Chain A
Amino acid sequence: MGHAVVSPIREPLITGNKTYHQITEDLCRPTETAPGLSWIIAFVISLMFMTFGVFCIAWTIWFGIGSWNLNRTIGWGWDITNFVWWIGIGHAGTLISAILLLFRQKWRTGVNRAAEAMTIFAVMCAALFPGIHVGRAWVVFFFFPYPNTRGPLWVNFNSPLLWDLFAISTYFTISLLFWYTGLVPDFATVRDRAKGIRRKIYSFLSFGWTGSAKHWQRWESLSLVLAGIATPLVLSVHTIVSFDFATSVIPGWHTTIFPPYFVAGAIFSGFAMVLTLMLITRKVLHLEDYITIEHIESMNKVILATGSIVGVAYLTELFVAWYSSYTYEQFAFFNRAVGPYYWSYWGMMACNVITPQLFWSRKMRRSIFWTFLLSIVVNIGMWFERFVIIGTTLARDYLPSSWSYYVPTWVEIGIFLGTIGIFFVLYLLFTRVAPVVAIAEIKHILKSGGNQYVGPHATHVLHEPQHGGQVDHSFMRGDHDANLTAAPLVPVVSDPPNFERTRVEVVEKSNDYDNDGNYIGLKNDLTKVEGIGPKVQEHLNNAGIYTWNQLANTEVNKIKNVLEAQGGVYASMVPGTWPEQAKMAHEGRWDELMKWQDELDGGK
């Protein structure tokens, strides 16, 4: 791969100084090892939820929709709320796969596989609801135009529900194909490493992939074609879902703003769900090097953008209701805000409009804790949004005589919990049968040129066997060790001596230097050191100090000289603690550093 893949001013998308082999090892391992305790616990819990959900579905079909609390006024409640919610969640995957592919957002490769899987599972959960919420689930085939002996008995092409059926089934098909296409080379990788029955299964799954140039070429073409088809689908699916409401005459539903607002909301919730899942997956499967803070930040930016769009849409709705001077529309929004379901409206507003604004702060965007928390908040908020649109609106429409109220029964709640169970069961199984990060694709963005073999910093190091998680740093010490910010976290199973592999797996050390020998490689965030601001960091960089390690090894006087050379306020700075702070940062002793910084005053 060429060195142009990664912008020199951006931080690499894969950290940890990975080799191609390490990537293969890291990503294939979950499919090859026995699951850990946490996985088993999660799986059992999910399975229990799923079982309960299936029981509730059976209950519904046996006893009728009357086992739910929907009524003559509120014909759709939790069922369609959950349907739209899941469909929304199912939006991130294809967006990441298709649109970000077309926009050449390389960071997508770290998360696209899992996001696509999530899409498919979410759409499956979503599709369940229209299937079981109908009064007579055994005749849902009426939805399809089918040949019959009763003459031309067509479906109603005017009905948005029919469009919905087509939109969702198309979306599901394309997403599934896209996902599976991406999986083929990875399955082949797993196959090549597997033995026995697993090898047979993966052999079947990988469709006889050999990795020949022709295969790669066709694979690339197919991916591109599918991306081309999928891109409009991302926009169309939720647009059409929004038609379920927008084409009706019910005040609060009958609005033209719905399509864009639904799409934005879907991406919003989809990314939130991707984050929720990826943060857990990343931690559990030790994928921090593939799904970095950079990824998280990028996704948080998308959440911020779409969250703001959704917020504007809410306000636009309110404005239009007022501006239209149409009493029913006005009342619908009035009722949302202060009617009996006020909590869902304010829950929606708080979760979807206010909390994502926290992501204007870079610290928030890069904080795993806050990201995780907010991703859950967003998912709750988006559920509220759908409930507001569906339940709250239906509860009080045109005729005051028919207004009613609705609280779900245990069956309805059970089905919702059941879909969450189904979703996680499928996802957990997925993490065990397929590489959760696209191996083939992520290798594209691994920054590796030939630099390590040439120039002043060439490192010709063979990949030596490593033992028990211990990394022998000594052999890696070249002219600099800037990238070795921390020891690799994963224990590496020792490879059997294999000439072919060993030959390939020469450690490409670093291409942190350009052809002129100037350092352009990894930079640490020096502002982590109390006392250093962005300007000072710039000056230090200009002075050749890019990393914490470098700073740690720089004498205080030398730093002072750099600062004094700048004059002005910089001259009076006291960098006494900087090397020590930088050392802590370099060694990953963040807690200690934070504690110390609390005591420090402006870095003095």
Chain B
Amino acid sequence: MKNHQDTTWIGISDKNNDPEMQEMPQDEFVGLPIAEAMSSEAIVENANANRRDFLKYLGFGLGAATIASCETPVRHAIPYVTKPDAIVPGVASYYASTIVNGGDYCPVLVKTREGRPIKIEGNPMSPITAGGTTARAQASVLSLYDSDRFKSAGTITDGVWTKAEWSEVDKAIGSKLSAGSNIRIVCNTVMSPTTKKAFNDFKATYPNTKVVTYDPISSSAILQANQANFGEAVIPNYHFDKAQVIVSFGADFLGSWISPAEYAHQYAKNRNVSKGSGSKMSRHIQVESGMSMTGSNADNRIMIKPSEQGAAIATLLQNLGGGSSPYKVNDKAGNALKNLANELKANQGKCLVVSSSNNKTEQTYINKINEILGSYGNTLDFGAVSYQRQGIDAEIQGLVKEMASGSVDAVMLWNANPVFDLPNGEAFAAGLAKVGTKVSFALSMDESTALCNFALPTHHNLESWGDVEAKRGHYSLIQPTIFPLFKTRQAEATLLMWAKSPNFDATADQPYYEYLKENWAGMAQTAGFSSGRQFWDEALSNGVFSNNSNGGTTSAGGVSVGSGSITKPSSSEIELAFYETVNMGNGQYANNPWLIEMPDPVMRTVWGNYLSVPINWNGDSGKLEGFRGVGRKVPKGIADKLTVNYNGVEQTYSSVPQFGQMNGTASIGLGFGRSVVGKAGKDVGQNVYPWCSIDAEGNTQYYATGAEVSGIVGEDEEFGCVQYHHTYGVTGQYEGEKVNVDEVDIVPIGDGYQGAIVDRTVVFRDSLSNIDNLLADMKKKKKVAKHLNDATLYPFEEYSENLYSQGHYWGMHIDLNSCTGCSACTVACMAENNVPVVGNREVSRHHEMTWLRIDRYYYGEAENPNVLYQPVMCQHCDNAPCENVCPVNATNHSSEGLNQMAYNRCVGTRYCANNCPYKVRRFNWLDYNSADLFGGNQNNINGEDPAYYTDNIVRMVLNPDVTVRSRGVIEKCSFCTQRLQQGKLTAKAEGRRLRDTDIKTACQTACPTGAITFGDRNDKKGELNSKIKSPLVFRMLDEVNTQSSVFYQARVNNKKLDA
């Protein structure tokens, strides 16, 4: 009866094939004591079931079958056979690791649940970032679950990937490489000492190998200048916290330049004005053409055309007494630079001048300026120098020529995409065609990989072992947080295998891990550990370690400016500036929807790169005028399309009128327009790398002169912009009077540029010199609010005392001065709270789901205004307008002061969202998460099918502690209530009272500048209460009597009007 060929049996008797066991299946109702039970009853004459019993059993059977069939089948749930030690279901484990992508660096703690990394936290032990993160680091976890990644090794023919076994590929490549092969490994900055060792071990076998390093957005000139001046091709160790006057020529050091999390952290330290009157803060002057994120934080901006940058640097140097400038800048900038020179001189030794210029001579000028100002040794040094940019552009250009000559046998693309991100990507592609063996280690298909023969996908960062030396003597380790999802192999291991390196044991269980460990074996002694094991365990657990013993120093003095030429200002009508955006980087993040949908901090646009064009206040007509009439329809959600024509290439862009954009210039973000990319990133924006140029020294120049920009050629009806309104009290001269531009600019009815704006109690801001007036104004407004709020039948104080005197009373403090607008918090919130990505069309209809948004306002003079950023999430009002209008009590108040949402109870009237003065409530307009009853309404994003979040791989990123919301319900910030619960449980398990700092919200931990503080308002000695006490603290819309729990600290800049 039973076939025992299979290995399944029920018990010993089954296995032994006992006769008893064989009989059992014959008896259908074996084990059911029905017959016995019934026969024991006197009333039953025989053991047979009678009619009534039959009906009973029938009924029971039917019921049982029905109940059994009602059970939802559980898919993909595979229990552990043996539970791993580190995994407790429902409890998160954190692993220290590092997020690295080219020169991007962020030491992190990776939160894993049931073996899945789901969230990135900053590593507070890092001396570099001190726990801060960037949006890119936050989003990297999503790239892990990118379903467009290569699933295995493969061969590529005509851009089409075909699956291949690793062994076959190894064999195929092995047969093509010989000891004499001219091999070129093309990579972006590599900060890993062990990777570099692997390169060297590879070179030992293949001596004609050369590693060609370049950076798509290059700092080549800085390296060259430092090489020339100080003998070291490195990025100096900047100390933005030690500088009283910071001058940046185009360097977006808070957003994207070299090490933004580190610099932002330093920068914010010196700009804290929480004590109010008498506070001191640094000065920051940005010299640039478009409004960068850093420029938007600057106290003063000096506007120049991109081609004037060299002249501006030279002019400053001249004003400081360091030679004469061959060129002049525009008069306004010239005057400003004169004043700037004086200010810098007055702050000798406390200045820092940086520049993103990629002209070697200009960078030597910068070095000279810093030398004159006595910055070396004070605000920048060559101790812990940065290794975050190592690429020399000339090298890759050399390779292009080399390939063209046909002398290269093999090219290995080490996560680099030169075909896309070089100005002469086409030349690179043409050269590549002449190379015999082309290997790409990229994780997914890109423009360059498509031209290779072999795709040998490496692990994702979160699946890899590795190490990083981002700054000299400061190391961090990378450890895998998940078993590789696909059949990938770490690229270093691949190289070492091919090289048959004696240092590498390919048969080991985790060969590259052993190799890595071996490399650090010597470190234990140096770092003062008793054993290698102890060192390794601690280093791995901490994720970071430092060893300052090998810090080199470079003597200051004797900087000689280069003999090369600086850029000559162009006289062309329109110049284009190309810049690295905060979210898209150099294009490596093009398939990451969290970053694509993260609004550009300044323009507030998503899903693409937009042409930012100047906007002017025309004091004669009383109107704000966009470049060539652009932007009149922006308040109605329509962007004007303009055509940009450069070098015979024509591209059409949606335009954004941008305050602070120099007249005669326009800016476009780099890194967009990837053509060979995964589903999400396809055709998002347009590629402007080909418009960059290469100067005489081979360095890439990120601007173009002589471009033609047309007038309005069309309208973008799907303008993905989350914030139309620009200004918050921007002033200008009109008919001899200083006016609020918005209030005047309403003349054409219905066509008011941005409508009118009045003196709202949304934010408070002023300059440091005016801080006493600001405080007086705030006091007055608070008094008015108190007067209004006291006129109530329900005195709030009594109520809150009764309600919150026990237990916790959560609140948040946000320092607008520390907030740089970098949006790490926005992405962190999306990751933590399963906030869906909705796509460009939905954002253009204002269906974005972000729980935490950053509002950006311009203020000050219309010509060149200042900017402030205000992160806005649910304010958790104690007198919440949303709560009393919900007909079904779906949103209500907790005894700890939280405004809670019961998604299950929500009917979706949207009244709460209407009645929210802060507009933080988000409605699930469509089924963004495929969490819905209906199958037919899944929303398709960027042409994807199925929609993004329906992909089972992508869904692995979802936080299991947070409900995935279905269509038709309202959602909003919960103050990370799951973290509150976790914190409380931990405290309870540890048998102690919850401390103020036990719980940190996702936005708080993500913030590189510590602008966000969460805590318990009942903890009188806690950090939150100490911060709330600042006289600069206010509550948004205080007079509406919402009694919100989020406290903002006013924005204070250090603007000098004559500067």
Seen from chain A, the residues whose Cβ lies within 8 Å of a Cβ on chain B are 62-66, 69-73, 75-76, 130, 133-136, 138-140, 142-143, 154-156, 158-162, 165, 244, 247-250, 327-328, 330-331, 334-335, 337-343, 394, 396-405
Contacts and interface: CB of A to CB of B under 8 A. Distances in A.
B884 A398 contact: no
Contacts of A75: 910-911, 913-914, 923
Contacts of A133: 909-910
B907 A158 contact: no
Residue of B756, B925, B934 with most partner-chain A CB within 10 A: B925
Interface stretch (B45-53, B160-168, B258-266, B841-849): B841-849
Nearest to A68: B925
B757 interface: yes
B764 to A, nearest CB: 14
A239 to B, nearest CB: 17
Contact of A400 (B750, B757, B853, B937): B757
Interface in B424-438: none
Interface stretch (B96-104, B723-731, B768-776): B723-731
Interface stretch (B4-12, B799-807, B885-893, B952-960): B885-893
A402 B917 CA distance: 10
Residue of A134, A162, A397 with most partner-chain B CB within 10 A: A134
Contacts of B787: none
B968 A135 contact: yes
A327 B785 CA distance: 13
Contacts of A340: 635-636, 750-752, 755
A130 B908 CA distance: 10
A82 to B, nearest CB: 15
Contacts of B921: 72
A135 B910 contact: yes
A508 B911 CA distance: 62
18 contacts: A71-B845, A71-B847, A73-B846, A135-B907, A135-B923, A136-B967, A136-B968, A143-B907, A159-B884, A161-B911, A249-B915, A250-B917, A327-B759, A330-B758, A338-B749, A339-B750, A343-B750, A399-B919
A4 to B, nearest CB: 52
A66 B937 CA distance: 10
Residue of B637, B845, B924, B934 with most partner-chain A CB within 10 A: B845
Contacts of B966: 136
Nearest to A136: B968
- For the complex of A and B, list the 5 residue pairs with the smallest distance between their C-beta atoms, beginning with the closest: A135-B908, A135-B968, A66-B925, A71-B846, A66-B926
Given A134-B908, A338-B752, 6 more contacts: A72-B847, A135-B923, A136-B908, A403-B724, A403-B725, A405-B637
A247 B915 CA distance: 9
A335 B907 contact: no
A402 B907 CA distance: 24
Nearest to B756: A334
A405 to B, nearest CB: 4
A500 B885 CA distance: 64
B969 interface: yes
B927 interface: yes
A130 to B, nearest CB: 8
Nearest to A342: B750
Interface in B209-232: none
Interface string B423-458: 000000000000000000000000000000000000
Residue of A62, A66, A70, A139 with most partner-chain B CB within 10 A: A66
Contacts of A160: 885
B interface bracket (residues with beta carbon within 8 Å of A) = 35 or more
Contacts of A158: 884-885
B872 interface: yes
A399 B872 contact: yes
B829 to A, nearest CB: 15
Interface string B845-887: 1111000010111000000000000101000000001001111
Residue of A244, A394, A399, A404 with most partner-chain B CB within 10 A: A399
Contacts of B847: 66, 71-72
Interface of B: 635-637, 723-725, 727-728, 746, 749-752, 754-760, 762, 842, 845-848, 853, 855-857, 870, 872, 881, 884-889, 905-911, 913-915, 917-919, 921-927, 933-934, 936-937, 939, 966-970, 1037, 1040, 1042
A457 B253 CA distance: 107
A158 B889 CA distance: 9
B727 to A, nearest CB: 8
Contacts of A338: 746, 749-750, 752, 755-756
Contacts of A337: 749
Given A64-B937, A156-B886, A162-B887, A342 B749 contact: yes
B913 A142 contact: no
Contacts of A64: 924-927, 937, 967-968
Contact of B725 (A65, A161, A249, A401): A401
B601 to A, nearest CB: 13
A318 to B, nearest CB: 15
A403 B749 contact: no
Contacts, number: 206
A155 B905 CA distance: 10
B838 to A, nearest CB: 9
Contacts of A247: 884-885
A27 to B, nearest CB: 43
Contacts of A343: 750
Residue of B752, B759, B762, B887 with most partner-chain A CB within 10 A: B887
Nearest to A158: B884
Given A71-B847, A399-B855, A405-B637, A249 B908 contact: no
Given A335-B755, A398-B760, A65 B968 contact: yes
Given A64-B937, A159-B885, A405 B635 contact: yes
A397 B917 contact: yes
A71 B914 CA distance: 10
A64 B927 CA distance: 8
Given A66-B925, A139-B907, A339-B752, A397 B919 contact: yes
A405 B752 CA distance: 13
A335 B918 CA distance: 18
A162 B881 CA distance: 16
Given A134-B909, A162-B887, A398-B760, A62 B934 contact: yes
A328 B908 contact: no
A398 to B, nearest CB: 4
A65 B758 contact: no
Contact of B881 (A135, A139, A249, A335): A249
B758 A398 contact: no
Nearest to A145: B888
A398 B918 contact: yes
A111 to B, nearest CB: 36
A62 B923 contact: no
Nearest to B856: A401
B1040 A65 contact: no
B846 A161 contact: no
B880 to A, nearest CB: 10
A512 to B, nearest CB: 59
Contacts of A405: 635-637, 724
A73 B725 CA distance: 13
Nearest to B912: A75
Contact of B925 (A65, A76, A397): A65
Contact of A161 (B635, B724, B757, B887): B887
B968 A134 contact: yes
Contacts of B857: 400-401
A8 to B, nearest CB: 55
A135 B931 CA distance: 14
A250 B882 CA distance: 11
A328 B1039 CA distance: 11
A59 to B, nearest CB: 10
A327 B969 contact: no
A143 to B, nearest CB: 6
Given A159-B884, A339-B752, A339-B755, A400 B907 contact: no
Contacts of A339: 750, 752, 755
